[in-house]
Amino acid sequence: MGVRVKAKCTNCNYEFRFKYGTTKGEYLVYMAPALNIETLEFENINTINLKDKWKYSFYDVDNLNSENNYCPKCKQHELQFRSTTFY
Ligand SMILES: [Zn+2]
């Protein structure tokens, strides 16, 4: 079971969507949102068998409707997460 989450920055209006969790029928997939600390870009990555784990700073998504997350675009902590659909 996974969830689609919409992220939107209230400061710069940067917007993106990501998947969090598993995908039905795919046992080696567990998606999570992370910041690539080398490129400082947002990435939605599969954490199972992930190589180069050190490269990523994972967002805390225990609460999928959260505020004050780091925005990779304007570098402010103004990013809001809103879960949209479960799949
Ligand atoms: Zn921003």
pLDDT tens for residues 26-70? 889 999 999 999 999 999 999 999 999 999 999 987 767 889 999
Residue 9 CA to ligand 1 centre (angstroms): 5
**What's the N-to-C CA distance of the chain in angstroms?**
6
Q: How far is the CA of 35 from the centre of ligand 1 (A)?
A: 14
pLDDT at 65: 81
Q: Which pLDDT score is estimated for 66?
A: 87
Ligand 1 center to 78 CA (angstroms): 6
Cα-to-centroid distance, 36 and ligand 1 (Å): 16
For the residues 72-86, what does the mean pLDDT come to? Answer: 93
How far is it, in rounded angstroms, from Cα 15 to Cα 82? 11
For 18, phi then psi, to 5°, come to -145, 165
pLDDT attached to residue 20: 93
Identify the domain containing residue 34 by its residue range. 2-86
Q: Which two tokens stand for residue 54?
A: 């050190």
Distance 24 CA to ligand 1 centre (A): 32
Give the chain's domain count: 1
